[in-house]
Chain A
Amino acid sequence: MTLMNCLILAFLLFGIGVWGLIHRRHLVGMLISMELMLNAANINFIAFAYFTPGDSTSGSIFSAFVIAVTACEMAIALAIIVSMYRRHKSLDVEQLRDLHD
């Protein structure tokens, strides 16, 4: 287990997140992809904190904060998605077509 392994893992996770975001047409699926991207950053933080010399506490604390902030963000996102669902009775992003040029 080296720093490089962790960084590659994180980068792959981030890539999978981006891929999922582009190809998923379901709002909850997109949220999960986003969660993957955020957690890839968390892995990066912890890997750097563990393997590199320097201030290791702040890196670990950062990831804890990120988890909390992500929870807030997802709470709001789910609330908004529920209100979308009440109106459209479906969670397909293709329906987001009322606002356009």
Chain B
Amino acid sequence: MYSISNQLIPDLILLALPFLILIVRLCSKRTTVMPWRIANLGLIATFVMLNMIPLTNSEGAFFLSNWRVDDFGVLMREVFVLSGILGLWLAKDYFDHGADGKPALMHITEFMATLIFATFGGFIVVSACDMLTLFLGLEMATIPMYALTAWNKRDQYGSEAATKYILMGSVATAFELFGFSYLYGFAGSIHFSQIASATSAGTSPLLWIALLFIFCGIGFKLTLFPFYTWAPDVYEGAPTPVTAVLSVTSKATAIAFLVVLLYGPLAPVQDKIVPLVALLACTTLFVGNLGALKQSRLRRFMAYSSIAQAGYIMIALLGPGYISKTAIVYYLFVYTVANYLAFFVFGVIGHYRPESFNSLRGLSKQNTLLAVALAAAMFSLAGIPPLAGFFGKFHLFFSGATAGHYMVVAFAVLNNVLALYYYLQVIKSAWADEPEGELSPIRMVKRQRFVVIALLAATILLGVLPFVSNNVFTGFTF
């Protein structure tokens, strides 16, 4: 058994990192190079340290009774850190030059620090054992995102997107907090173990009102059906790397929040919440898919795609905890890899052309690597068999089916056909459509080529992983 301090090392590194970067920025003469290196080193160190923590299949280790490090937490931390690193690498080029008609970003050190704070917010959410920690974690993951969205002060769309985001986000916070206050009134405590014993002892209308408010709040952050309208605007207005981080880190945080609540304090009433979750999941993925059909701009398209993906992930929440958690973590890895792969391709193209479907034309003849990467990312997001996305979706649906929700799963699978249509539209633009006129040249820097190849390999290898490693399949009994 490892001592608690070992398991806290990654958290402590990540917590110290933003402060360290900012201090180095103030003291060092090489104001951009040193913080950049330290940020990369710190994030990679965190990732390595997280991989050293053995998965124990137990309750997890507690620290001060409200900070828990369990298997789900460790794996989710890896997702967050991965998303953070990839987000930084994607963002780096946007500080050197403008893209997609927007001016270049500035203040890279502060950008990195803010991004790492948001990542740490995700850490807090997955380790929370009481409502206060959970609330602080969610806020810590969200508030930096507002600032990141508005990072490009010289871009009018950025500030408009940030205004919409912060208005919607604060309303969500208020709803969620109001729900928490009723939950506290119901249970008489903010600690999860006591809330769990209160919910298993009996329910009352207060509990249901609390849950309604909490679901309204988290619905905003997870872009669930009636609350998703801000997402396309914000995703389009934000700088492209921020959009990528938003669609992965913020979505993963919101999912983790739901998992922590549903399989922690609310586990005794989970079967009563399930119809609501199923309704939200079905409407969300249907609306996301319908919205994506008619888009012509890539970031807006990715926004609707990620709304639909949130719906798919929600389906896993119908199942029992151990299967659902495995499925969600695995799918989030797959989703992170595929989403970032797509955004890296868009990033390279966006440097030279506007980010729209038309800019993809003729890509296969001009740069085969990018076209292959784009096809792999889209096929993975759509869930085509040899790629990781298929196994990810399979696990999500398996989790839903285990609990006997066959209709919901069938609806989701039918929707997947709809999704396939618009993902194929992207591939068609890149591979089949003839370009209009002369194409501007596309060049990749070394880092971009490395990341695109690595992510392309990961998209394929992650699909093979479940057959090699027993870890992923422990939750499954066929």
Q: Taking chain A's interface residues, is the majority helix, strand, or loop, or is none over half, making it mixed? A: helix
Complex Cα gap A73–B147 (Å): 10
A76 and B189 contacting across the interface, CB-CB below 8 Å: no
Report yes or no: A45 in contact with B189, Cβ–Cβ below 8 A: no
Q: Are B181 and A44 in contact (CB under 8 A)?
A: yes
**In contact, B159 and A83 (Cβ under 8 angstroms):** yes
B146, CB-defined interface residue at 8 Å: yes
The answer to whether B428 has its CB under 8 Å from any CB of chain A is no
Decide: B177 and A38 in contact? CB cutoff 8 A: yes
- Partner of A96 from the list B136, B163, B173, B187 (CB cut-off 8 Å) is B163
Interchain CB contact (< 8 A) of A52 among B160, B188, B237: B188
Number of A interface residues at 8 Å Cβ cutoff, please give it. 44
- Which listed residue, A17, A31, A98, touches B157 by the CB 8 Å rule? A98
Q: Interface digits, B119-149 against A, CB 8 Å rule (1 contact, 0 not)?
A: 0000000000011100110010001001100
With known contacts A65-B132, A87-B159, A54–B146 Cβ distance under 8 A:
no
Q: Which residue from B143, B232, B237 sits with its C-beta under 8 Å from A73?
A: B143
CB–CB A45/B184 < 8 A: yes
Nearest Cβ on chain A to B462's Cβ, whole angstroms: 33
Are A76 and B184 touching (Cβ within 8 A)? Answer: no
Q: Which residues of A contact B191 (CB under 8 A)?
A: 55, 58
Assess whether A96 is in contact with B143, with CB atoms less than 8 Å apart: no
Contact in complex: B182, A44 (CB < 8 Å): yes
Q: Is A8 an interface residue (CB 8 A)?
A: no
The residue in chain B whose Cβ has the minimal distance to the Cβ of A11 is B178
A1 → chain B closest CB, angstroms: 16
Determine if A40 and B178 form an interchain contact, defined as CB atoms under 8 angstroms apart.
yes
List the B side residues contacting A7 at CB < 8 Å. Answer: 185
* Contact status B160-A96, CB under 8 Å: yes
Tell me whether B24 is interfacial, beta carbon within 8 Å.
no
Residues of A within 8 A of B358 (CB): none
Q: Which of B164-172, B273-281, B432-440 contacts A (4 or more CB under 8 A)?
A: B164-172
Q: In the complex, A52 Cα to B164 Cα: how many Å?
A: 38
- Is B236 interfacial (CB 8 A cutoff)? yes
| 5 chain-A/chain-B pairs, Cβ below 8 angstroms | A30-B167, A31-B170, A69-B135, A99-B157, A100-B233
Contacts A41-B174, A59-B190 given; 15 further ones with Cβ under 8 A? A34-B174, A37-B171, A41-B177, A48-B181, A52-B188, A54-B187, A55-B191, A58-B184, A66-B135, A73-B139, A80-B159, A96-B163, A98-B156, A98-B237, A100-B233
